[in-house]
């Protein structure tokens, strides 16, 4: 994340660890000031998809965690190159893209995202996985709406 210079893209429901443990708000500020494009896609806290995932994971606070992450990030929404949307999709993977590097956190039924496997992908000539997950991000992004507190 710290080495990204051009693109940061995040697809999550809550991703609370980003703002609570990784100082993501300051990362967004710094990267925005340096000219990076930053797209963040959070689960719409009151959507059926988020509520269903909360029940499946036994994590009733998930909707509130989605809203809390948005509250943390809200101060960055008008920075140059920053766009924050929310989505109502069923999330099969959380995606974290930093230029040509990507982390894909797969989601398994009944398991917290934090306890699920993470793949570290690199964009390589002729490779397909990076572009596969990037297309998935783009598809979710296309369904998103500008986030509202």
Q: Please, which pLDDT band fits residue 129 given cuts at 50, 70 and 90? A: very high
pTM value is 0.94
Locate the DSSP E strands across the chain.
7-11, 37-43, 82-87, 93-98, 101-106, 118-122, 145-146
Q: Which of 69, 50, 70 is nearest to 60 (CA)?
A: 50
Find the DSSP H helices in 23-61.
24-33, 48-57
Q: Please, which pLDDT band fits residue 116 given cuts at 50, 70 and 90? A: confident
Q: 60 in helix, strand or coil?
A: coil
User: In the predicted model, what is the mean pLDDT of residues 71-94?
Assistant: 96
Tens-place pLDDT, residues 77-86: 999 999 999 9
For the chain, the domains span: 7-144
Q: Please, which pLDDT band fits residue 124 given cuts at 50, 70 and 90? A: very high
The predicted structure's pLDDT at residue 131: 96
Rounded Cα distance, 43 and 12, in Å: 6
Quick check: 132 pLDDT over 80?
yes
Kindly state the tokens that stand for 112: 């917290």
Quick check: 113 pLDDT over 80?
no
Tens-place pLDDT, residues 36-70: 999 999 999 999 999 999 998 888 999 999 999 99
Fold type of domain 7-144: Endonuclease; Chain A (3.30.870)
The predicted structure's pLDDT at residue 94: 96
99: left (phi over 0), alpha (psi -120 to 50) or beta: left
The predicted structure's pLDDT at residue 1: 80
Kindly state the tokens that stand for 147: 């986030």
Rounded (5°) CA angle 58-144-73: 70
Quick check: 111 pLDDT over 80?
no
């Amino acid at each position: 994340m710290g080495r990204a210079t051009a693109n940061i893209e995040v697809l999550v429901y809550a991703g609370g660890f980003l703002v609570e443990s990784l100082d993501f708000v300051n990362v967004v500020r710094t990267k925005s000031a340096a000219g990076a494009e930053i797209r963040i896609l959070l689960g719409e806290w009151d959507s059926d998809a988020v509520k269903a995932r909360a029940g499946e994971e036994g994590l009733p606070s998930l909707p509130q965690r989605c809203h809390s992450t948005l509250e943390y990030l809200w101060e960055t929404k008008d920075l140059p190159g920053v766009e924050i949307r929310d989505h109502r999709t069923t999330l099969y993977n959380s995606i974290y893209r930093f230029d040509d590097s990507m982390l894909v956190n797969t989601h398994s039924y009944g398991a917290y995202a934090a306890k699920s496997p993470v793949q570290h992908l690199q964009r390589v000539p002729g490779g397909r996985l990076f572009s596969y997950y990037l297309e998935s991000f783009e598809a979710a992004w296309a369904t998103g709406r500008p986030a509202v507190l």
